[in-house]
Amino acid sequence: MSMHRRFAAIGLALLFLMTTSVEHALADETDTAERLTNTEPKTIQSRQTLRDPEIRVESRKLGLRRQVEMLQWERDGDGFVKVWRDAPVVSGDVQHSNPPMPKLQNAVWLASDANIDGQQVDPGVLMALGQWIRVRPGFSRVPFRWSRRFQPDGDGLSDSDNPLNPQVGDVRMFWSELFVPTLERQVILADGKWQLPGTVQLDEATVRALNRQLQDAQQRRSLRDLLSRMWTLAAFGLLTLLIVARVVLIRRARHNKARD
């Protein structure tokens, strides 16, 4: 290996070691600050299986919700219309009175082991930031006392004799699962639990400390990105010098050969 190649290789290795060591040091400090200030996206995890104990519907998501609706009379101007409602409607008319709501009511089950990096997530985070999406679960485990009354109807269950022509007093049920998007700058780690910032009581000194940590983390990230770009440019520059040196050596060798 020629002398200029050796120097180039040594310089490239030293530059790589310097930038890598600095990046690792900045990354360690940044991760510590980001763990408190949540400057990186956070994904909520859970291994729990949620169950509707009455209908025996199951879900592996962060939340399971049962919605029970009954077809009822509701006043509409001077008349009455049939509407699906999940709460009792007082029609105010004897001829259009509604039967009592069924024993099965709306219910919500949340994953008790929801966590981010092993730290518990407050249930308020799930309810505030999660999105309920209706699903069609399997109904193979519905107990007999309910399966003899309710039959599959669309995405849920219904006790209508004719689902296409339901009558007042008919009941239907639907289930939804809770999906929480990746969190970024929306939760804070306080008292060993991920919580919504507005629900955490922080003193002024803690707020100032968190703000400083956030600013420091952002500055370290900017410096780390700058070092990464410098490394890329330096590597490209050294590679270019090697190519140019190689071309010069080839031309010089050809020139010397021609002179000989």
Contacts of residue 155, defined as CB under 8 A and 6 or more positions apart, other chains included, come to 134, 135, 136, 174, 175
Token pair, residue 99, equals 């039967």
* pTM of the predicted model as reported, rounded to 2 decimal places: 0.62
pLDDT in tens, 164-199: 999 999 999 999 999 988 777 778 877 788 888 766
CB 37 within 8 A of CB 212: no
The helix (run of H) or strand (run of E) holding residue 24 is helix 3-37
> Average pLDDT of the chain?
79
pLDDT category at 256 given cuts 50, 70, 90 is confident
CA distance 31 to 112: 26
CB 96 within 8 A of CB 116: no
Q: What is the largest CA-CA distance in the chain?
A: 120
Phi, psi of 11 (to 5 degrees): -60, -40
Phi, psi of 16 (to 5 degrees): -65, -45
Question: How confident is the model at residue 50, as a pLDDT?
Answer: 96
pLDDT category at 33 given cuts 50, 70, 90 is very low
pLDDT in tens, 148-167: 999 999 999 999 999 899 99
CA distance 199 to 214: 19
pLDDT category at 32 given cuts 50, 70, 90 is very low
Question: How confident is the model at residue 23, as a pLDDT?
Answer: 52
Q: Which of 42, 48, 41 is CA-nearest to residue 177?
A: 48
pLDDT reading at 31 higher than 50: no
Using DSSP's 3-state secondary structure scheme, residue 15 falls into: helix
DSSP 197: G
Question: How confident is the model at residue 231, as a pLDDT?
Answer: 72
CB 130 within 8 A of CB 178: yes
Percent of the chain at pLDDT above 90? 41
pLDDT category at 235 given cuts 50, 70, 90 is confident
